Amino acid sequence: MKNGRIAVPSNGEGGLGGTRSGHFGHCDVFTIVDVEEGKIKEVSTIKNQEHVQGGCMVPVNLLSQNHVNALVVGGIGMRPLMGFRQVGINVFHDDQRPEIEPVVMDLIAGKLAEIRNDQVCGGGGGQH
């Protein structure tokens, strides 16, 4: 990624040195990384909102409103994945590393793959 805004579902206060949340819809915050010319320009966070059953489009709209271009998840349900694709947010997949920084660096370096339809998961009706 040369330019853009990356979101990572995160635990606690988030930030580049923080850890990723395995539950996309239930994360505490989204760590936001702004990338310019292939380098990290700024790191911030967006507070996640209350999660309710069936409300998986709320974070989709939240990240879309905040001009996110790419999301890195460990798991996600089919409905939010379709929602992200509809609003033009590319969803990348890494279900191995709990740390935020290495997956962000790999995404910037073009080393992370977009999630495929057969990699979607569930749990609580699309909460992931």
Residues 81-100 that bind other proteins (CB under 8 A): 82-83, 85-86
Q: Residue type for 127, please?
A: Q
Q: Is 11 in the site for other proteins (CB under 8 A)?
A: no
Is the separation of the CB atoms in 24 and 10 below 8 Å? no
* Start-to-end C-alpha separation, the chain: 25
Q: Is 77 in the site for other proteins (CB under 8 A)?
A: yes
Sole binder of other proteins in the list 62, 97, 101, 105 (CB under 8 A): 62
Q: Tally helices (H) and strands (E) across the chain.
A: 3, 5
Q: What residues line the site for other proteins (CB under 8 A)?
A: 46-50, 52-58, 60-62, 65-66, 77-80, 82-83, 85-86, 120-126, 128
